[in-house]
Amino acid sequence: MKKYQWLLAILLILAVAPVAEAQSLGKKTEEEKAAKAEKKRDNLDQMADETLDRLFEESPGAKDLYDKSYGYAVFDNRKTTILITTGGGKGIAVERNTGNKAYMRMASAGLGVGIGLTFYQVVFLFENKDSFTNFVEKGWEVGTGGDATAGDTGTSAKASATTTGDAAVGAHKSAVFSNGMAVFQFTDKGLMLQADISGTKYWKYDKINE
């Protein structure tokens, strides 16, 4: 009888062990995912701080506008051109009064000339809560013609090269909001006089948001 009891115990251990191991591996995987997400958030936080410092250094007018803003968003992007232009990147949007953060993604596409790889950063300053919330919660898409739409609401704001360019050009003197926001773009050569965000879509990066 004892022999069968021992045999039953061994079989039970053999049956339970793989389940426990799988649960352990599953838990470890979740911990690894959490650690990876936290690292991405830290990297984006650092990128945003460094980009804002650079913006304020190159454009005192932008600092004045930042002080008046409800919130801001900073994106680190990569654009590849091989006859057509495609791009992708990540960023963070911050509500200044509360410090609440939303991590976001972006993608762009359009016609291009030549071959090359460009790294650049884009900074959005939002004049009020509505413009900030629409951008973060509903997503934001700028067509190739420069028309910007927030989510599926049909709420539009002109974000053409002229509009964003006015904000960027004025940044060296007295930057102003246009349709609730101002946009600034950097390349390795410095602050561009005319921001180009056409053909770009922005949305929440749910995978790493807490």
pLDDT (0 to 100) of residue 83: 58
Instruction: Examine residue 29 and state whether it is found in any structural domain, yes or no.
Output: no
pLDDT (0 to 100) of residue 26: 52
Residues 96-111 as b or e (16 or more Cβ within 10 Å = b): beeeebbbbbbebebe
- Whether the CB-CB separation of 85 and 111 falls below 8 Å is answered with yes
Counting the structural domains of the chain, the total is 1
Query: What are the beta bridge partners of residue 92?
Result: 74, 103
- Say which residue the tokens 């050569």 belong to: 189
Instruction: Examine residue 110 and state whether it is found in any structural domain, yes or no.
Output: yes
Three-state DSSP class for residue 189: coil
Instruction: Examine residue 17 and state whether it is found in any structural domain, yes or no.
Output: no
pLDDT (0 to 100) of residue 111: 61
Regions of the chain short of the pLDDT cut 70:
1-28, 79, 81-85, 110-117, 143-174
Cα dihedral 107/112/115/121 (nearest 10):
-40
Q: What SS3 string covers 125-139?
A: EECCHHHHHHHHHCC
- Which tens digits make up the pLDDT trace of 44-103? 999 999 999 999 998 888 999 999 999 999 999 876 766 566 778 899 999 999 999 999
Phi-psi region at 15: left, alpha or beta (left = phi > 0; alpha = psi -120 to 50): alpha
Instruction: Examine residue 64 and state whether it is found in any structural domain, yes or no.
Output: yes
Distance from C-alpha of 122 to C-alpha of 157, rounded to nearest angstrom:
18
Range of the domain at 122: 54-204
pLDDT (0 to 100) of residue 114: 55
Cα 145 to Cα 9, 60, 155, 200: the distances in Å are 72, 30, 16, 11
Instruction: Examine residue 12 and state whether it is found in any structural domain, yes or no.
Output: no
Distance from C-alpha of 102 to C-alpha of 75, rounded to nearest angstrom:
12
Extract the tokens encoding 40: 């991405």
DSSP H stretches of helix in 1-112: 2-58, 60-68
Instruction: Examine residue 94 and state whether it is found in any structural domain, yes or no.
Output: yes
Instruction: Examine residue 81 and state whether it is found in any structural domain, yes or no.
Output: yes
| Helix (H), strand (E) at residue 152 | none
Phi (first) and psi of residue 186, to 5 degrees: -115, 145
- Whether the CB-CB separation of 95 and 132 falls below 8 Å is answered with yes
pLDDT (0 to 100) of residue 7: 46
pLDDT (0 to 100) of residue 68: 94
Instruction: Examine residue 15 and state whether it is found in any structural domain, yes or no.
Output: no
